[in-house]
Structure 1
């Protein structure tokens, strides 16, 4: 049997405060990144290595939406409310993946631009308790 797999972006969902986000820009519209490494290595004068476990569990989820996305007003209102909210990314493609947390805030009002074509709007979300599975 072959090793061919199929990927479908429609099988990836982003849920913010219980609401499914829609209107993603083409390309790479979702990214997840931990803010710090899991460990801090220390090498002594004699070459002995010690790993210190990092207590920093924070991360940043970046969503790039079309400027016409119906989800933008929702996210802008959530930012204005200064509310702490949950966020989950669920990918049910081959080798299912989940990331997110229960303590998130939108970092700042996204930059906007207007042109002759639809532009992307980048929304950065800080997650205090980022987990990945």
Structure 2
């Protein structure tokens, strides 16, 4: 069965604003900061799983240096505001990731050249959920 994927059906919404101006390649990455469980193996081989309470994660956006969303993200960083962020993928069923408590880790270094450069923005999410 053939399927179609369209990046235009993927949205990132940070503090109510749709983020635009993504670089080519892998412009959006979501990663939990810790594993969901920690396995403990006893001397006799008995295994116990401890549930991790760490729900933090990192969302990394790779934007073009010309992205009209960069001033919005810079303002969120300068204001030190805790904001909601959501990633919604409407391709073949909906995937969602994000949280209500996010902060910009730091604005990336910038460079200029004869080609459009990528700008990587890291966002820490205190309550990352994926569905």
Normalising by the smaller structure, the TM-score range is over 0.9
Aligned mate of 1:82, from 80, 83, 94:
80
| Runs of 4+ residues over 6 Å off in structure 1 | none
Give 5+ residue unaligned stretches, structure 1: none
Aligned pairs (5 A) from 1:2-41: 3-41=1-39
Aligned pairs (5 A) from 1:86-97: 86-97=84-95
| 1:95 Cα deviation after fit | 2.8
- Matched with 1:61 is 59
| Deviations 1:3-43, CA, capped at 9 Å, x for gaps | 11000000000000000000000000000000000000010
Give the Cα separation in 2 of the matches to 1:110 and 1:131. Answer: 25
Aligned pairs, number: 131
Give the Cα separation in 1 of the matches to 2:72 and 2:48. Answer: 46
Give the Cα separation in 1 of the matches to 2:53 and 2:100. Answer: 17
- Tell me, yes or no, if structure 1 residue 73 matches structure 2 residue 58: no
Q: Secondary structure at the match of 2:25?
A: coil
How much is the aligned-residue C-alpha RMSD, in angstroms? 0.5
| 1:117 Cα deviation after fit | 0.1
Give the Cα separation in 2 of the matches to 1:85 and 1:29. Answer: 21
- Matched with 1:43 is 41
Give the Cα separation in 1 of the matches to 2:110 and 2:48. Answer: 46
Give the Cα separation in 1 of the matches to 2:89 and 2:22. Answer: 15
Q: Secondary structure at the match of 2:48?
A: strand
